[in-house]
């Protein structure tokens, strides 16, 4: 690039280098760009820019002295970054024509041959830069001199003063504020003080103590905390008891994953339980620290943990009552079984990925025996087959029937298969004949059609065992949406199959062990040991093919249940389990649901269908880490012994020793006295309770502290089939009522594209990165907890909520804006004492009364939104109000605050409003950005006694402006007039903007505005009346039109003529309001203290640069006066 010393690009680089030197030196003069520095820089530039490809003869210019060895590199080299701040030479690529570099600065040719020409250009540019800077310095010196001339009045301008930092410095300041809360026992004071509003109780749903927190935890806990803080500030007694789910497979798996295989094999149940308990407690400690760092308050020193003996005893008490009520039974039924974790699962422990692909099959079973008479009359006595479809070929060995829908229309078709040329007479649903022709590659001839009930009594030969098996009548679950309309029925491997099996007395066969392997019961040696999720499907398919019953195999993509912990498929498997009967409770549970308020309302019908269609709840699990089901089994026949008396006895032991006692004590010690004589006949059961029974019992543990039913349960939408439902069932079974009055639901956290957060996608966001800063600080600087909390309060939590670096950056801007507005308020009340300086509402200028009314409306909307838990709406209202406040009131207030006499009514009235606004801003921020709220409160001038409370959270909720008590929300003539005149300000701003763009004026104080209002029209007449009201205000130093418009002079068509044609700079009209604003240059000279253009500037000998208003203030200031007066 750099070919000649006169190349302008070379000069520009010299200018740039010189400026960089100047910038680095601050205000001090930068050292001159020396020849040696230029030489080194030029060599670097030469290397970096591949000067070897340059063929200019200008490089033969004489050198600038001898550089040091190593300063210059061979011409054909480039720079390579090895590490931050370090560079090394690397061979440059050959020229465009493939030739080697044509020149070299190494060796005997002398390093400086080439550099001199470049150096000359750089030095020329640097000299040019210094000349420019010299001129600029001279101009700056002149301005500095002018400023010094005006410093006589600097100390009379009342600029803001506050210790409230513009930057949150959250990583340092937030922990300090949390320490302040702890030192003052703020939460304890709130909890123990008199509560005029009564008690508010929010019961915490327990997260699993099995790992670090994620964004879902943050969303959930911050929502709960915001509600609790709001209720406490309103005057409710709030006691929040955080809880943790400490039992179950998630924790057991974590423990086992951290152990070697040899250690796992020798692990006893008690050893596993000890390790699991230790892991859970450690995780609880870590999660607690994170929750507290979020700013969440609660009984963290005394939480509820499901592993506590007292909690376990309460849970067993609920179980005892359910046994007494006849709601618990033991049966062999198909349940969701996870071969990967070898335990039964509840519906709430499943997830359903949509991309699961099953190897589905169509099979035709050959009918045998006598055809039922009704059917025989229709189709004759020729051979028949029944066609079925299944996505689980491995269940064919357990087939015990084919089910049909008695009211569906079926057909016997004579099917000819193109591929084989064979013909079969098959029974299929009439509506599916066409689809099956294309799918199976067959042509059909219709023999007869009939209702499904005609097929009852038909029998077929089992395709594996050859056993004669019946066709039975199923239910509404049999449709023509897919398959053949006939359903392969295996009572041991499906819920609907089981119901039909019970109806017809079918065998509940499930020849599969806990690992998912076929057992000897499968009936065929070649299948024993095959795994149903691995090779069993292929083996069964091969058998069907050999026996000529297989029609088609094809992959079928569909939703399929997976274990939500291991992320592996589950199966239906009949095993002996303990169940809670839902049938006996269903109507009571549905009745209780009808009395619950759902937030949002759209979730009101979500739980009801789940309960209506719910099967019995399998509450037993085949794990060690949990609350044991205190059942005993006879050794001779495996008959279960479980009575309320036995449970009560075990419960009392557990209350003292915990559930480890079940493993430590003998059967005789665990049985009540009346059963001990038969202790040798029994063995202990090793099943533990479903963790949803654990957490579903939490209401009983906390009811003595917070009551039952509580006011609110708040969790994610998945808990409608989880904790919300398990708590409801246990409470209705024992108490006859729901444990909650209201249920609030939030969505899941997703990325900006709506995708679920996943480590494999790489879109997971850690709350700690938002608070403390992530690895990439550009992506996630340390925003602090308040920004995270503001995100929670800004999103629509009723659906899935998005989060990303870009979203958080925008939230941070809003947080900074709020802080900026608070700082303006605080900085301008530094000398304000409410007791002696406050102005009552009726004495305020109209502008101030207007702002108070606007603030009341905003605070009212925020309060109502908080009451409805609509935090997004509250945040939106607050931000809109603060933006309006800044663009109008703060702009108009600056002259009053900075320029007026310290004790003037003009200034004190504004300070009165700002102090009231600051106090209430802190209050409404309290539930959400709690640290900022406290920071604002502590920065308010005065002692805790002056403020009324040592913490914003002890100060109550929003207060009315002094003199407005009982009148909040009422109309006020002055405020209404000002609201109307704001339309004039909007029109004036448009006219001023035209003038600025044209370059005719700079500051708005350089302008005069003339307001003309139409003589007709309701809006125009209303505006005229408002102008008259404002003109009559006794506070013309605040309320006059010129202050509202922000110009030096303002008049109306009622008081002055419009600017002449030669004076007019711009005009703007608003047809809707009937107003036209004309802008001209203001008369007079600019005052150097207030910038107002005034004819009195220059007329006062003592203060030539000042207007009469400022001169009076300065004289008063210097005389040490400061009486309350109008400026």
Q: What pLDDT digit, counting tens, does each position of 719-745 carry?
A: 998 999 999 999 999 999 999 999 999
pLDDT for residue 117 is more than 60:
no
- Confidence bin at 568 (pLDDT 50/70/90): very high
pLDDT for residue 42 is more than 70:
no
Mean pLDDT within 923-949: 95
Mean pLDDT within 420-426: 92
- H or E element, residue 640: strand 640-641
Tokens 């665990």: give the residue: 670
Give the chain's count of helices (H) and strands (E): 37, 39
Mean pLDDT within 165-190: 96
Q: What is the largest CA-CA distance in the chain?
A: 129
pLDDT for residue 46 is more than 70:
no
pLDDT for residue 873 is more than 50:
yes
Low-confidence winner among 7-16, 211-220, 576-585 (lowest mean pLDDT) = 7-16
956: left (phi over 0), alpha (psi -120 to 50) or beta: left
Mean pLDDT within 563-574: 90
pLDDT for residue 118 is more than 80:
no
Check residue 127 and give its pLDDT: 54
For 1084, the token pair is 């007079």
DSSP conformational letter for 887: I
Three-state SS at 710: strand
Check residue 428 and give its pLDDT: 96
- Confidence bin at 812 (pLDDT 50/70/90): very high
Mean pLDDT within 920-926: 98
Residue 1030 phi/psi, 5-degree rounding, is -65, -40
DSSP conformational letter for 522: G
Check residue 604 and give its pLDDT: 84
Give the HSE-up count for residue 838: Cα atoms under 13 Å, Cβ half-sphere.
13
pLDDT for residue 994 is more than 70:
yes
Check residue 758 and give its pLDDT: 78
Say what the alpha-carbon torsion angle 936, 940, 945, 948 is, to the nearest 10 degrees: -50
For 827, the token pair is 């900085």
DSSP conformational letter for 208: B
Check residue 1126 and give its pLDDT: 34
Distance (Å, rounded) from C-alpha 277 to C-alpha 300?
A: 18
Check residue 847 and give its pLDDT: 92
- B/e letters for 1052-1074, b = 16+ CB within 10 Å, e = fewer, are bbeeeebbeeeeebbbbbbeebb
Residues linked to residue 425 through DSSP beta bridges, in sequence order: 414
- Confidence bin at 421 (pLDDT 50/70/90): confident
Three-state SS at 1018: helix
- Confidence bin at 121 (pLDDT 50/70/90): low
pLDDT for residue 69 is more than 60:
no
pLDDT for residue 1015 is more than 50:
yes
Contact status, residue 272 vs residue 265, Cβ threshold 8 Å: no
How many residues does this entry show for the chain? 1127
Distance (Å, rounded) from C-alpha 122 to C-alpha 115?
A: 10
For 696, the token pair is 């579903």
Contact status, residue 923 vs residue 955, Cβ threshold 8 Å: yes
pLDDT for residue 211 is more than 90:
no
DSSP conformational letter for 244: E
Check residue 420 and give its pLDDT: 87
HEC secondary structure over 950-989 = CCHHHCCCCCCCCCCCCCCCCCCHHHHHHHHHHHHHHHHH
pLDDT for residue 614 is more than 90:
no
Residues linked to residue 468 through DSSP beta bridges, in sequence order: 461
pLDDT for residue 629 is more than 80:
yes
Check residue 125 and give its pLDDT: 54
Check residue 100 and give its pLDDT: 35
- Confidence bin at 128 (pLDDT 50/70/90): low
Question: pTM for the full model?
Answer: 0.78
pLDDT, one tens digit per residue, over 748-771 is 999 989 988 877 788 889 999 999
Residues linked to residue 444 through DSSP beta bridges, in sequence order: 415
Mean pLDDT within 77-106: 34
Mean pLDDT within 581-609: 92
Residue 1095 phi/psi, 5-degree rounding, is -75, -15
Low-confidence winner among 306-320, 656-670, 936-950, 964-978 (lowest mean pLDDT) = 964-978
Share of the chain above pLDDT 90, in %: 70
Contact status, residue 583 vs residue 617, Cβ threshold 8 Å: no
- Confidence bin at 28 (pLDDT 50/70/90): very low
pLDDT for residue 252 is more than 50:
yes
Cis peptide, bond prior to residue 600, ω within 30 of zero: yes
- Confidence bin at 257 (pLDDT 50/70/90): confident
Residue 33 phi/psi, 5-degree rounding, is -75, 105
Check residue 27 and give its pLDDT: 34
Distance (Å, rounded) from C-alpha 678 to C-alpha 1096?
A: 112
């Amino acid at each position: 690039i750099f070919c000649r010393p006169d190349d302008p690009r070379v000069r520009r680089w010299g200018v740039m280098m010189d400026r960089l030197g100047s910038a680095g030196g601050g205000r001090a003069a930068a050292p001159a760009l020396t020849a040696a520095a230029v030489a080194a820089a030029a060599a670097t530039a030469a290397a970096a820019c591949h000067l070897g490809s340059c063929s200019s003869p200008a490089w033969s210019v004489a050198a600038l002295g001898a550089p040091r060895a190593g300063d210059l590199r061979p011409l054909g080299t480039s720079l390579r970054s090895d590490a931050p701040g370090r560079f090394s030479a690397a061979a440059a690529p050959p020229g465009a024509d493939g030739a080697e570099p044509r020149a070299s600065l190494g060796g005997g040719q002398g390093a400086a041959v080439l550099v001199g020409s470049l150096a000359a250009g750089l030095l020329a540019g640097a000299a040019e830069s210094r000349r420019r800077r010299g001129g600029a310095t001279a101009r700056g010196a002149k301005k500095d001199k002018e400023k010094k001339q005006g410093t006589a009045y600097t100390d009379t301008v009342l600029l803001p003063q506050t210790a409230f930092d513009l930057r949150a410095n959250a990583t340092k300041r937030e922990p300090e504020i949390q320490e302040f809360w702890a030192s003052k026992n703020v939460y304890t004071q709130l909890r123990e003080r008199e509560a005029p509003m009564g008690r508010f109780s929010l019961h915490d749903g327990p997260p699993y103590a099995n790992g670090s927190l994620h964004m879902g935890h943050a969303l959930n806990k911050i929502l709960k905390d915001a509600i609790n803080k709001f209720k406490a500030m309103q005057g409710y007694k709030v006691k929040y008891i955080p809880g943790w789910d400490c039992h179950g497979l998630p924790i057991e798996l974590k423990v086992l994953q951290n152990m070697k295989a040899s250690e796992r094999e020798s692990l006893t149940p008690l050893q596993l339980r000890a390790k699991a308990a230790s892991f859970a407690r450690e995780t609880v400690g870590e999660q607690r620290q994170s929750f507290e760092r979020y700013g969440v308050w609660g009984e963290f020193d005394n939480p509820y943990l499901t592993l506590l003996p007292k909690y376990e005893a309460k849970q067993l008490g609920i179980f005892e009552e359910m046994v007494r009520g006849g709601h618990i039974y033991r049966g062999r039924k198909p349940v969701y079984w996870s071969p990967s974790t070898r335990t039964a699962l509840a519906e709430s422990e499943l997830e359903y990925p949509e991309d699961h692909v099953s190897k589905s099959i169509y099979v035709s079973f050959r009918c045998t025996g006598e055809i039922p008479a009704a059917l025989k009359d229709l189709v004759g006595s020729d051979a028949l087959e029944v066609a079925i479809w299944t996505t689980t070929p491995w269940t064919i060995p357990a087939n015990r029937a084919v089910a049909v829908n008695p009211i569906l229309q079926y057909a016997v078709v004579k099917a000819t298969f193109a591929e084989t040329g064979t013909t079969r007479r098959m029974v299929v649903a009439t509506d599916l004949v066409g689809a099956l022709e294309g799918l199976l590659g067959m042509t059909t001839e219709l023999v007869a059609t009939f209702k499904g009930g005609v097929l009852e009594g038909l029998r077929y030969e089992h395709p594996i065992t050859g056993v004669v098996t019946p066709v039975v009548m199923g239910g509404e679950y049999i449709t023509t949406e897919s398959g053949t309309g006939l359903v392969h029925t295996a009572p041991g491997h499906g819920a609907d199959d089981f119901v039909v099996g019970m109806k017809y007395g079918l065998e509940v066969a499930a020849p599969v062990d806990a690992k998912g392997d076929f057992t000897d019961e499968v009936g065929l040696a070649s299948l024993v040991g095959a795994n149903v999720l691995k090779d069993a499907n292929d083996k069964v398919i091969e058998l069907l093919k050999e026996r000529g019953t297989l029609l088609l195999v094809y992959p079928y993509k569909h939703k399929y249940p997976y274990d939500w912990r291991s992320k592996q498929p589950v199966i239906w498997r009949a095993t002996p389990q303990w169940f809670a009967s839902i049938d006996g409770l269903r109507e009571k549970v549905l009745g209780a649901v009808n009395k619950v308020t759902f937030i949002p309302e759209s979730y009101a019908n979500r739980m009801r269908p789940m309960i209506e269609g719910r099967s019995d709840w399998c509450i037993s699990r085949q794990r060690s880490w949990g609350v044991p089901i205190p059942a005993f089994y006879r050794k001779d026949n495996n008959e279960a012994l479980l009575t309320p008396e036995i449970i009560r006895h075990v419960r009392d032991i557990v209350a003292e020793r915990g559930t480890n006692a079940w493993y430590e004590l003998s059967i005789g010690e665990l049985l009540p006295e009346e059963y001990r004589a038969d202790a040798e006949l029994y063995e202990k059961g090793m099943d533990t309770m479903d963790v949803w029974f654990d957490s579903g019992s939490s209401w009983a543990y906390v009811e003595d502290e917070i009551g039952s039913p509580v006011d609110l349960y708040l969790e994610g939408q998945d808990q409608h089939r989880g904790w919300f439902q398990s708590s409801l069932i246990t409470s209705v079974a024992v108490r006859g009522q729901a444990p909650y009055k209201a249920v609030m639901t939030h969505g899941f956290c997703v990325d900006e594209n709506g995708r679920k957060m996943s480590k494999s996608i790489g879109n997971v966001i850690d709350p700690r990165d938002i608070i403390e800063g992530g690895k990439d600080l550009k992506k996630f600087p340390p925003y602090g907890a308040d920004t995270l909390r503001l995100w929670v309060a800004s999103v629509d939590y009723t659906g899935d909520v998005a989060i990303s670096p870009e979203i958080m950056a925008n939230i941070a801007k809003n947080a900074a804006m709020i802080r900026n507005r608070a700082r303006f308020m605080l900085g301008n009340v530094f000398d304000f004492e409410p007791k002696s300086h406050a102005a009552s509402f009726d004495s305020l200028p109209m502008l101030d009364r207007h702002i108070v009314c606007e603030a009341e409306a905003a605070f009212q909307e925020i309060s109502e939104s908080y009451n409805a838990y609509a935090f997004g709406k509250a945040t939106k209202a607050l931000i809109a109000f603060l933006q309006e406040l800044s663009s109008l009131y703060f702009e108009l207030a600056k002259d009053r605050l900075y320029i007026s006499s310290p004790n003037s009514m003009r200034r004190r009235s504004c300070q009165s409003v700002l102090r009231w606004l600051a106090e209430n801003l802190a209050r409404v921020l309290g539930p959400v950005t709690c640290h900022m709220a406290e920071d604002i409160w502590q920065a308010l001038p005065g002692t805790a006694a002056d403020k009324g409370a040592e913490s914003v959270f002890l100060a109550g909720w929003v207060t009315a402006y002094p003199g407005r008590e009982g009148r909040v929300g009422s109309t006020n003539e002055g405020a209404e007039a000002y609201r109307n005149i704001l339309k004039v300000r909007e029109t004036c701003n448009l006219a001023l903007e035209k003038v600025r763009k044209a370059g005719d004026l700079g500051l708005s104080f350089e302008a005069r505005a003339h307001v003309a209002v139409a003589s007709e029209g309701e809006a125009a007449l209303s505006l005229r009346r408002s102008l008259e009201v404002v003109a009559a205000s006794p506070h013309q130093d605040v309320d006059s039109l010129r202050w509202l418009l922000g110009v030096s002079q303002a008049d109306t068509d009622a008081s002055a003529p419009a600017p002449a044609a030669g004076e007019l700079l711009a005009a703007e009209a608003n047809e809707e309001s009937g107003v036209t604003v004309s802008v001209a240059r203001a008369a007079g000279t600019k005052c150097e203290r207030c910038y107002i253009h005034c004819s009195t500037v220059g007329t006062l000998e003592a203060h030539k640069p000042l207007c009469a208003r400022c001169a009076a203030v300065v004289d008063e200031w210097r005389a040490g006066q400061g009486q309350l007066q109008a400026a």
